[in-house]
Structure 1
Amino acid sequence: MTRYSRITGTGSFLPPKRLTNADLVAELAAKGIESSDQWIVERTGIHARHFAEPDVCSSDLAVEAGRRAIEAAGLKPEDIDLIIVATSTPDMVFPSTACILQAKLGIHGCPAFDVQAVCSGFIFALTMADSLIKTGTANKALVIGAEVFSRLLDFTDRGTCVLFGDGAGAVVLEASSTPGILSSDLHADGKYAGILCVPGNVYGGKILGDPLLKMDGQAVFKLAVGVLEKTAHAALEKAGLSATDVDWLIPHQANIRIMQSTAKRLKLPLEKVIVTVDQHGNTSAASIPLALDVSVRDGRIKKGDTLLLEGVGGGFTWGAVVLNY
């Protein structure tokens, strides 16, 4: 019997601290940086984002999202036999955030590791979990995107500090006799590393380089729109489908203009695009599973729907997954 994997539960969590554009503009003004709600909304579509408190780590957000996904799947933490966390903001240099999360969930012995593909991280992690389930290495996987990107922001750079937020999204992926994950398409090209990066590292107990996010917005926009269209078509072709078969597009929630441009190129109506960037900002690897959970819980996504997930991030990395929910 052919072995497949299906999403059986979703969950998400946002830190309580919510900053509207007005809140953030006031904070920037205190530092002599000019911005406005209108400027932010017109360029990004973002109205608000959530920031974690200083003592809250990615694993703290992940454990809440993970518990909700496990509960939604009708499982207990001890049923999970694989944990993959996609994050660019780990709790520590090592051990992995996945191992720290594993301990917080009271799970013992199963493989647990992190995936670092920045905003494409959840797509990469979901593909890896699907592969491990299909080969029989795992039966019930917890796949999470969790980020505290607020730690990486330069609040003197209004072009980047208004974009990002913190949060976590999770899914439980289980072995199944019926197809769930239909196809995936993954890519990376390191020659674009400089257009979106945090060029710092730890050496001898000190930070070398710059530990804050740097982005060439125009270069990222141009590259992102092109590769997202290509990877979407590639994943659909592998699944034997076309864009007309897609019930919902769940893109990485980076910027409303990128999302709209991608939908237009795929000839998908905007009514079929799940959008949470307006309330959550760009939560990097957490954005796709967070948007998925929101739309599952509000009833838009229903059993049997065909979903197209896609992401693009620093690296440069990009990819897409097609699945039956």
Structure 2
Amino acid sequence: MRSVIRGIGSYLPARILTNEELAKTVDTSDEWIQQRVGIKERHIAAEGEFTSDLGVAAARAALDNAGLAIADIDLIVVATTTPDYTFPSAATLIQMKLGMHHGFAFDIQAVCSGFVYAVTTADTYIKAGLANRVLVIGAETFSRLLDWTDRTTCVLFGDGAGAVIMERAELADGEPERGVLSSALRSDGRHWDKLYVDGGPSTTGTTGVVHMQGPEVFRHAVGKITDVVYQSLEQAGYSVDDLDWFVPHQANKRIIDGAGAKLGLPPEKVVTTVDLHANTSAASVPLALSVAVADGRIKPGDLVMLEAMGGGFTWGAALIRW
């Protein structure tokens, strides 16, 4: 039995904020941003456009892609750091907005690793017989956690959402391999203050803004990323050479390039979309995945590695036969 990907979809807000526009309000430049992180632009949610709205749009695109209706879904898992409210969860709001009155829904908070955590969670629920079809969404309005006067953070992030539908499939003997093959999840709270938001209901009673020790995050990122990739490959009995595509968290092009180089992957096997939507936290992996599926790079039968690392620190990888 496998959890296979039945459909995929994404959504980006209409407003595009370019590097040139940012340079008018903070001490930065298009050249500096592109050289440091490889970002050209990011999308910003409109006033009154919430994380649940982005998630709903991505979910509808995934349902259309799969040829399914919301009645066919048993569970909604939403990875987000920026829910509409402290509670209820973004997942239950998305459930309501999609007109789903059955099953169950909940959020996962693992920051940028959230989508990989959510895929692994959905796979576990399917294998346990608790759901047959799961709508997995990564959705963020990360722009609302930014200090727009801090050039070290405000240039890095954007808003967006991506979704996949995971479905239980019984594979007959001799049938080609499909679905989620393995995953590896990790966290280490000792590093919490290297990337965090300085607010919360139990501390300040406010939302807070993002703070990041950029060099420290970079120093940890490449090693942690490659460790879980190797672990996931080993669990499934594969090597890096077997991979068709590496779909990493879209945080920083230098980190993406560094991880690809350490793994020995040629650049043409690495999906990079950070230039077009910046770091959208839990939404970045499904957004990149959606682009590569839509343009025909990722095809049925391809071996695809998803990977992400986020505040906490959290990090993880999931290996999928498309």
* TMscore range, shorter length: over 0.9
What SS does the corresponding residue of 1:293 show, helix, strand or coil? Answer: helix
Superposed displacement of residue 207, structure 1: 4.3
Q: Match of 1:213, as an amino acid?
A: V
Which residue number corresponds to residue 201 of structure 1?
A: 200
Counterpart of 1:283 (choices 263, 280, 284) is 280
Structure 2 unpaired stretches of 5+: 172-177
1:167 aligns with 2:160: yes
2: CA distance, partners of 1:8 / 1:163: 32
Superposed displacement of residue 221, structure 1: 0.4
2: CA distance, partners of 1:244 / 1:197: 35
Which residue number corresponds to residue 190 of structure 1?
A: 189
1:66 aligns with 2:59: yes
Q: Match of 1:144, as an amino acid?
A: I
Q: Match of 1:163, as an amino acid?
A: L
Counterpart of 1:309 (choices 270, 290, 306) is 306
Q: Match of 1:57, as an amino acid?
A: F
Q: Match of 2:241, as an amino acid?
A: T
Aligned 1:211-226 pairs, distance under 5 A:
211-226=208-223
Superposed displacement of residue 298, structure 1: 0.9
Which residue number corresponds to residue 175 of structure 2?
A: none
Which residue number corresponds to residue 34 of structure 1?
A: 27
Q: Match of 1:290, as an amino acid?
A: L
Which residue number corresponds to residue 75 of structure 1?
A: 68
Give me the identity figure in percent: 53
Which residue number corresponds to residue 157 of structure 1?
A: 150
What SS does the corresponding residue of 1:106 show, helix, strand or coil? Answer: coil
Superposed displacement of residue 199, structure 1: 1.9
Superposed displacement of residue 210, structure 1: 7.2
Which residue number corresponds to residue 181 of structure 1?
A: 180
The list of structure 1 runs, each at least 4 consecutive aligned residues, that deviate by more than 3 angstroms after superposition, is 206-210
Q: Deviations over 1:144-193 (max 9, x none)?
A: 00000000011111011000000000000000123410000000000000
Superposed displacement of residue 24, structure 1: 1.5
Q: Match of 1:238, as an amino acid?
A: Q
Superposed displacement of residue 69, structure 1: 0.4
Counterpart of 1:19 (choices 17, 25, 29) is 17
Computed over aligned residues only, the root mean square deviation of the Cα atoms, in angstroms, reads 1.1
1:144 aligns with 2:137: yes
What SS does the corresponding residue of 2:106 show, helix, strand or coil? Answer: strand
1: CA distance, partners of 2:258 / 2:184: 20
Counterpart of 1:319 (choices 303, 316, 321) is 316
TM-score (norm 2): 0.96
1: CA distance, partners of 2:170 / 2:307: 25
2: CA distance, partners of 1:34 / 1:222: 25
What SS does the corresponding residue of 2:147 show, helix, strand or coil? Answer: coil
2: CA distance, partners of 1:166 / 1:17: 10
1:110 aligns with 2:107: no
What SS does the corresponding residue of 1:202 show, helix, strand or coil? Answer: coil
Superposed displacement of residue 208, structure 1: 4.1
2: CA distance, partners of 1:201 / 1:275: 32
Superposed displacement of residue 209, structure 1: 6.8
2: CA distance, partners of 1:209 / 1:223: 29
Counterpart of 2:8 (choices 4, 7, 10) is 10
Q: Match of 1:148, as an amino acid?
A: T
Deviates more, 1:169-178 or 1:253-262: 169-178
Report the number of matched residues. 316
2: CA distance, partners of 1:216 / 1:96: 29
- Partners of 2:52 and 2:91 within 8 A in 1: yes
2: CA distance, partners of 1:91 / 1:164: 18
2: CA distance, partners of 1:54 / 1:244: 46
Superposed displacement of residue 202, structure 1: 2.7
Q: Deviations over 1:67-109 (max 9, x none)?
A: 0101111100110001000000001010100000000000012
2: CA distance, partners of 1:183 / 1:122: 15
1: CA distance, partners of 2:250 / 2:107: 21
Which residue number corresponds to residue 120 of structure 1?
A: 113
Q: Match of 1:95, as an amino acid?
A: P
What SS does the corresponding residue of 1:55 show, helix, strand or coil? Answer: coil
